[in-house]
Structure 1
Amino acid sequence: MNSFDSSIETYLSNIHFAQFATRTIEAIADLYTFKGLVLVPVLWWMWFQQDERREWRREMVLATLLSGIVALFLGRLLTHWLPFRVRPVYNADLHLHFADSNIKDALLSSWSSFPSDHAMLWMAIATGIFLVSRSVGVLAILYTMLFICVPRAYLGFHYPTDLLVGAAVGIGITYVMTRDAIRVRYATLALRWIELRPGPSAMLAFILCIELVTQFDELRKLASGVVKNL
């Protein structure tokens, strides 16, 4: 572990709150309510705003959602492609004692910590919000940092560099996907189809947003189970 990660993780592991505060931090880190169910509704609010920039904003919302999906799946792929990195909470060589956690399951112990797919996904979404509205976007980015990234470092699920690299990649994906030259190639066409087919498009948007909020976890578990049985 590099000195940057070591100093921060050592500092965080020495901070121990009362049991109620620790359980609250665990809930914030674990529950979808404190992640996608905060940021995705902001995109819906932006979608239904009515002004002269309505079409551009809707294209940006579509580009942001696609950026989030790309960031999530790229993050999952990178954890398999890159060298395995043991999460701090499972690394006995660090001799660190993190706050007790009920979320230390077998899945996390066998899942590389680098990079953080949480940071990639939700910073990608927060960046899209920022590009549409600076004031709301600043709040979204701060929320992502304080309520999604920091708790995962505090509980020992990620090293700081896992989160920083994940956040940087997520920001980069959204920045590229929302550029005019790229966005118009898919978002404009998608928006035309949505206007022509409001019923099916609303249904698909509902399903997509649920899966994004839950980070496709159930579909991933289902696919994993099918593969194992085959």
Structure 2
Amino acid sequence: MYGLDDLATRTLNHLSGHSPIMDGFMILLSEVGIPLMVALVVAQWWVRTSREHTRHVLVSSGLTFLLGLALNQVILLFVHRMRPYDAGLTHLLVAPNPDYSFPSDHATASFAIAAAFLVHRFYRRGLAFLIVAFLIAFSRVYIGIHYLTDVIGGATTGLLAAYLVRKFYREGNWLDQRLTRIG
């Protein structure tokens, strides 16, 4: 498995360094993709159609985002994977990161947002967020900061978080009524 992961990571990372425009885009996407997604979620708070339901989905998205990152912290207690550039596998386009590599917080956060919208049947928005999530995950391997399985693991954590929030955070409960009426 590690050999295949190394090969896939090296192949994707070796796409970098040939086009300054593509390198710049991937670096930018890696740096601002998550904040942009969060801003787009927050901006929907003031929509006029299906306001309470939309706000429930937005709160669920935020909870999914936080739960996914919390799950990553638990995983990091047990998994201490070295970054691919530390292993001499990739060349790095950004400053090194001192944290462990698995799972990717960027992949977790972006897939958590997309999955939260999809499990609530907001398919158009969810699909748009999913496309961005795939691009962000790809950018993390492209710029040399993660192995391919790091972003797959992060995406899985984000999807699991969306499932858990959907299962346990119910629309219309006491907390949901209080939160969706803010602002």
Deviation at 1:45, TM superposition (A): 4.3
Matches of 1:127 and 1:36 in 2, distance apart?
A: 17
- Alignment counterpart, residue 170 of structure 1, candidates 129, 139, 158: 158
Paired residue type of 1:187: D
Deviation at 1:7, TM superposition (A): 2.2
Q: String of CA shifts for 1:117-141, please: whole Å, max 9, x gaps.
A: 1111121111123335201211110
On the 8 A contact 1:115/1:166 being kept in 2, the answer is: yes
Specify the alignment match of 2:26 in structure 1.
Answer: 25
Secondary structure of 1:143's match?
helix
On the 8 A contact 2:81/2:101 being kept in 1, the answer is: yes
Q: Give the gaps of 5 or more residues in structure 2.
A: none
On the 8 A contact 1:71/1:121 being kept in 2, the answer is: yes
Provide the aligned C-alpha RMSD in A: 2.2
Once superposed, which parts of structure 1, at least 4 consecutive aligned residues long, lie more than 4 Å away? none
Matches of 2:95 and 2:29 in 1, distance apart?
A: 11
On the 8 A contact 1:84/1:112 being kept in 2, the answer is: yes
Q: Give the gaps of 5 or more residues in structure 1.
A: 199-230
TM-score when scaled to structure 1? 0.69
Where do residues 65-144 of structure 1 align in structure 2 (5 Å cutoff)? 65-79=62-76, 81-92=77-88, 96-98=89-91, 100-104=92-96, 108=97, 110-130=98-118, 131-144=120-133
Specify the alignment match of 1:6 in structure 2.
Answer: 6
Paired residue type of 1:174: A
Higher helix share: 1
Secondary structure of 2:60's match?
helix
Q: Decide which moves more: 129-138 or 39-48.
A: 39-48
Give the length in aligned residue pairs: 179
Q: String of CA shifts for 1:94-120, please: whole Å, max 9, x gaps.
A: xx352x52322xxx1x31101111111
Deviation at 1:22, TM superposition (A): 2.0
Q: String of CA shifts for 1:61-119, please: whole Å, max 9, x gaps.
A: 1111111112123323422x023111111113xxx352x52322xxx1x3110111111
Specify the alignment match of 1:46 in structure 2.
Answer: 44
Matches of 2:75 and 2:66 in 1, distance apart?
A: 14
On the 8 A contact 1:43/1:129 being kept in 2, the answer is: no
Matches of 2:109 and 2:60 in 1, distance apart?
A: 13
- Alignment counterpart, residue 54 of structure 2, candidates 39, 57, 67: 57
Matches of 2:133 and 2:9 in 1, distance apart?
A: 19
TM-score when scaled to structure 2? 0.84
